[in-house]
Amino acid sequence: MSRILTALLAVSLLTGCGGSLGGLSRILFTGVSAADLDLKAVVEARCADLKSAPLGIVPEGVDVGGILPASLLGEEAPRWLLFLGAEMKKRCEDLELNSRIRFAGIPDEHGVIHVSDVDVDRR
């Protein structure tokens, strides 16, 4: 009987059924998937306005920010770094070409990294 209750609770948490338990599951799973990664990269180009970003990279409804390609240390192909909001756009524009940066961010389903913090890596 306890296995059945455990299975029902797990299904309730995963599917969002069960009222407040469903809300708890969304908080728990959102918290796990939203952890910022601490990464290092080399800036490949100057910061560009979001209007020049390739289609599908910028979330709908976002019109202020910057985007730039950067090579993550240990990877060969550059990744898009997305800086949303006026403050993050300014920080993006302050980055110099070929500078090594250390940043925190969350990759989305397209591999674009939504940057939440960035600093020049002076090591």
Question: For 60-101, what is each residue's pLDDT tens digit?
Answer: 899 999 999 999 988 888 999 999 999 999 999 999 999 999
Which pair of tokens denotes residue 63? 């019109």
Please name the residue that has the structure tokens 């591999």.
Answer: 111
Let me know: does 86 contact 101? Beta carbons within 8 Å.
Answer: no
Residue 1 has pLDDT above 60, yes or no: no
- The pLDDT score that the predictor gives to residue 35 is 63
% of the chain residues with pLDDT over 90: 47
Class of domain 37-120: mainly beta
Domain boundaries of the chain, sorted by first residue: 2-33, 37-120
> Which SS3 state, helix, strand or coil, does residue 82 take?
strand
Q: CA 71, CA 2: separation in Å to the nearest integer?
A: 51
Residue 26 has pLDDT above 70, yes or no: no
Residue 24 has pLDDT above 80, yes or no: no
Which pair of tokens denotes residue 48? 């560009």
